[in-house]
Structure 1
Amino acid sequence: MMGNARAIYQMFDGSDTKLTIPVYQRNYDWKVANCQQLFNDLVAMVREKRTNHFFGSIVEIGGDYSGEKQIIDGQQRLTTVYLLILALVKLLEEGKITSSTMIPRKIRDSYLIDQYVDDVENLKRYRLQPVKHDAVALMRLFGPESGYIENSNQTTNFQFFQDEILKQRISADDLWEAIQHLIVIDISLRRSEDNAQLIFESLNSTGVDLTEADKIRNFVLMNLPADQQEDYYNKYWHPIELNTEEGNEYHVSEFIRNYMTFNLKKVPAMGKVYQVFKQYIEQKKLTTEAVLQDLVKYSDYEKQIRNAQSPSDKVNELLKRLDVLEVSVTRPFILPLFDYWQEGNITADEVATILGSVESYIFRRLICGMPSNALNKLFATLFSESLKYVEQEDNYVDIINHLLLSKTEVSHFPTNDEFAESIETRDAYNMRQQTKYYIFDRLENQDSLERVNVIDGMQNNRFTIEHIMPQTLSSAWKRAWEWLSSDL
């Protein structure tokens, strides 16, 4: 291992230079706030006439005699500086800012692209080569604004830098001078001698910047040959990300936590998911590919559950209702239940009936004000517990119902009498909002085919709760209530 202080922009220099972000790395996720801090630091350097500014470390594996390097740590810094240089160059080329010393084409060819590769869609053209999602967004920034990918962090931060440069807090020449004095410690590893995985874990031991899924992805892909990394990423990891996607975010860490929960029959702490996962596959002596294949299969169930897109409409209706109640605690049971179903052991109607039992169990407990923390262990073990009775009982629905009804103390299934008493006396105003949504949706729609979107109407204030009896009683209401009470 060798470490040298150097200007970060020089890492892009060289006719054969290619800085590759391996597929096991997370995507670029610096936000505008991070870019604002960097730009402010550069402005301060100029105004305070400071010689340089230390910008952290970069860890890379050199490509021996070639100019290709894999970035093990520091991609956020490298990508951000690359975007800043590109923002500066494009503004100069478009004539929106001027310079007395810079030649934009020279900067572009020296630090941003390989001028001898003409194909703009070829990633090899670019000195920085990010992970797939980011690569397309980055390439588009070299073209017209109409082609930018708007929901990308690259695009957002590139546009931020252009806006900041146009404010001209410092001149373009001073900005370029400051960029050339951003100093990093460049730590170069030898492929044959240094253990990249151990070094990576040491650098990121605090877990502040990386999610548990980031660390797991690095663990399963990092030590594979480069071509196999790409193959496994495309075949396994990327589908896992897509299957757990919601909005613009991936929920891989949460999914793997649920996966480990039903396998280990206990819930790992969210900050320990990586360590638990690593110990699990090492103790079981599982191959990387076998683990990834299993994760892909269960991530597909995760997608079906999360989006209510299973093969059964009846099951999907139950999933939607459970989603309204926001009870993710049930996921470690529903995931293996889906596998049991889709492997042909039970029918869709049985799954729907079981989910109905779970729905009743959860809702009754909410109305009765029973603690939810008792449910973690129950749903972590419910599926594995049910398999013990399969040989004794043919009806799987009966097994699940028996197990739910047999729970005692803090986990017990509220009786009809307990539920009836609680729903009559429960302070509805202080219920969770989601519970209120669920109640009104069920009261209005029940199992009708013609449904009214009650939840959307309540969320957007199109539907309101009208009081027959006001919350604060006037004198007339008090007299009427006294009269009614005495009459009864």
Structure 2
Amino acid sequence: MKGEARPIYKMFDRSDTKLQIPVYQRNYDWKVANCQQLFNDLVDMAQEGRKNHFFGSIIEIGDDYGGEKQIIDGQQRLTTVYLLILALVKLLEEGKISSSKMNPQKIRDIYLVDQYVSDVENISRYRLQPVKHDAKAMMCLFGPETDYIQKSHQTTNFRFFQEEILKQRISTDDLWDAIQRLIVIDISLKRDEDNAQLIFESLNSTGVDLTEADKIRNFVLMDQPADRQEEYYNNYWHRIEEDPRYEDNEYHVSEFIRNYLTFKLKKVPTMGKVYSFFKAYVEREKLDIEVILQDLTKYAGYEKQIRDAEIPSQKVNDILKRLAVLDVNVTRPFILPLFDYWHEGNISADQVAAVLTSIESYIFRRLIRGMQSNGLNKLFATLFSDSKRHVGLEKDYVEIINYLLLSKSESSRFPTDGEFVENIETRDAYNLRQQTKYYLFDRLENQDSLERVNVIKGMQEGRFTIEHIMPQTLSATWKKELGNGYQEIYDRWDNHLANLTLTAYNSSYSNKSFHEKKTAEYGFDHS
């Protein structure tokens, strides 16, 4: 390992070397605020006559003979400066700014592209080679504006730099001079001599800007040869993390791996230590990297099936959707291995549906009972492994799960029928958690009917609201109708389920008498 201070733009000025962002790195994600700070620093440096500005460190790994250098740390800084130089060059080429010192074609050929590679869609043409989605967005910036990929951070920041340059807070020549005085510490590693993973961990020990999934991706891919990195990323990791519905998908991957580790280890890693637990698990079990990636990919497939509720059994899908409404992810470390057990042919779809129905009842009864959920992490971490110990004892698998759930005591126990009836009648149902109310009113309306009303969507959009039959503020008419004991009746029933109904006409009911609510147009008599 060797390190030296050098201007960051010189990192691109190596005719025999390209800087590659390896597939295990996260996408470019600097925001405009980061770019604004850099541009302000450059302006200040020029106006104050400072000799240089320190811009952090870059860690690269490769050999001493040119070719490709992989960027282990510092891709955000490198990419941002590359975009800034490109923004300058294109404005000069288009004649929107002028310079007495800069030759845009020369700068393009030395710092941005390899002039001897003519194919503009070949990533090897570019001095900086980002990961896939970023690479496409960056290459488009070299072409006409109509081809730009608008949603890319690269495009956003490139446009920002062009706008700032056109403001001419400093001259083009002064800006280029300031860029040339941005200094980084270039730390160069040799693949066969330096432990890149340990160095990376040391630099990122605070976890700033890196999710647990980021660190795990680096761990499984960093020490692999470049061709294997590409293979493992495309065949496994890309399939694990790809989900366009989540803007912050790295968090959801971290959560998935936490659930995976929970049923493997039979204990729950804290969210901030998922990477540490994962690394220890792989090293302790001496697991081959491809084997663990294959296993993760398999369970990521189950995770998607569970989340999307799109499997061949409609019974199972319906229950998965209801569990999703309850939003109790604590069950996932049990359901993931349950799906694997099912896919291996050990149980049927009907048995899976019956098991999930028991889980659904267990969770909902506890919510209505108002029981704490902090003990459930441990229960669902071990429920599948506990169930496997009873397999082969001439018991149906559904009976095994029911036996295990009913055998729990104290904070983890299964509420009885009597307790549930008591609580569903006396609980303040109006002020339940929102997800629990969605579930409760959906089940009351639809049960298992094939003619369904989309209650949850209606409640989310505000079209359906919860109506107090006896109003929250009693009018003189209501007090008279309830009689002398009206206050006692009000206190007993105000927010309880017996006094609540779902309606699309809440505003028209207001504090009207019970008779008016019953007989009005769209009143209770027509419900």
**Quick check: 2:267–2:378 contact (8 Å CA) kept in 1?**
yes
1:464/1:284 CA distance change after superposition, 3 Å: same
Query: Match of 1:384?
Result: 385
Equivalent residue runs for 1:258-297 within 5 Å: 258-297=259-298
Using a 3 Å threshold, how does the CA distance of structure 1 residues 228 and 347 change in structure 2: closer, same or farther? same
Tell me if the contact between 1:243 and 1:300 (Cα under 8 Å) persists in the aligned partners: no
| C-alpha separation in 1, matches of 2:488 and 2:5 | 90
**What does residue 246 of structure 2 align with?**
246
Is contact 1:19-1:70 (8 Å) kept?
A: yes
| C-alpha distance in structure 2 between counterparts of 1:465 and 1:169, whole Å | 58
Shifted more, 71-80 versus 192-201: the winner is 192-201
Indicate the SS of the match to 1:121: coil
- Output aligned runs, 1:356-395, within 5 Å: 356-395=357-396
> Matched residues, percent identical?
75
1:416 shift after superposition: 1.8
- Shift in alpha-carbon separation, 1:286–1:357, aligned structure 2, 3 A: same
1:407-427 residue CA offsets vs partner (Å, 9 max, x unmatched): 111111111222222222222
CA contact (8 A) 1:113 1:126 kept: yes
Q: Contact 1:243 / 1:299 at 8 angstroms: preserved in 2?
A: no
Residue-by-residue CA offset, 1:16-75 (whole Å, 9 max, x unaligned): 230011222222222222222222222222333322211100011243221421111111
Aligned to 1:458, the other structure's residue is in SS state helix
Amino acid at match of 1:237: W
Q: Provide the residue aligned with 1:15 in structure 2.
A: 15
- Partner SS for 2:361: helix
User: Distance in 1 between the 2:17 and 2:58 partners?
Assistant: 15
Tell me how far apart the structure 2 counterparts of residues 127 and 332 of structure 1 sit (CA, whole Å): 45
* Distance across 2 between alignment mates of 1:462 and 1:165: 50
Q: What is the correspondence of 1:138-177 to structure 2 with a 5 Å cutoff?
A: 138-177=138-177
- When Rg is computed on C-alpha atoms for both structures, the one with the higher figure is 2
Q: Is the 8 A contact 1:243 1:302 kept in 2?
A: no
Q: Distance in 1 between matches of 2:147 and 2:73?
A: 30
Hey, what does 2:321 align to over in structure 1?
A: 320
For residues 444 and 161 of structure 2, what CA distance do their matches in structure 1 show?
52
Report deviation, 1:296: 0.8
DSSP-derived class of the 1:298 partner:
helix
Deviating more after overlay: 76-85 vs 441-450: 441-450
Q: What SS does the aligned partner of 1:60 have?
A: strand
What's the counterpart of residue 219 of structure 1?
219
TM-score in terms of structure 2 length: 0.88
1:114-133 alignment to 2 at 5 Å?
114-133=114-133
- State the shift of 1:247 in Å: 4.4
Structure 2 SS opposite 1:462: coil
Match of 1:448 in 2: 449
Q: State the partner residue of 2:436.
A: 435
Q: Deviations over 1:290-318 (max 9, x none)?
A: 11111111111111112222232221121
Instruction: Identify which range, 257-266 or 304-313, moves more after superposition.
Output: 304-313
Q: Is the 8 A contact 2:243 2:249 kept in 1?
A: no
Whole-angstrom distance in 1 between the partners of 2:90 and 2:483: 79
- Which residue is 2:189 aligned to? 189
Residue range with higher mean Cα deviation, 7-16 or 138-147: 138-147
Aligned positions, number: 488
SS of the residue 1:465 aligns to: strand
Task: Show CA shifts across 1:268-301 (max 9, x none).
Answer: 1111111111111211111111111111111111
Moved more, 306-315 or 160-169: 160-169
Matching residue's letter, 1:409: E
DSSP-derived class of the 1:428 partner: coil
Structure 2: runs of 5+ lacking an equivalent = 490-527
TM norm structure 1:
0.94
Shift of 1:339: 0.2
Q: Secondary structure at the match of 2:165?
A: helix
Are residues 431 and 162 of structure 1, via their aligned partners in 2, closer, same or farther at CA, if it must alter by over 3 Å?
farther
Distance in structure 1 (CA, Å) of the matches to 2:44 and 2:437: 53
Secondary structure in structure 2 of the residue aligned to 1:197 = helix
Distance 1:189 1:14 in 2: 17
Q: 1:95 to 1:348 in 2, by over 3 A?
A: farther
Superposed CA offset, 1:94-149 (max 9, x none)? 33434343332222222111121111111101111112222122222222333333
Q: Residues 50 and 300 from structure 1, CA distance in 2 versus in 1: closer, same or farther, beyond 3 angstroms? A: same
- d(CA) in 1 for partners of 2:427, 2:165: 59
Deviation at 1:399, TM superposition (A): 1.0
Distance 2:365 2:183 in 1: 61
The code of the aligned residue for 1:223 comes to D
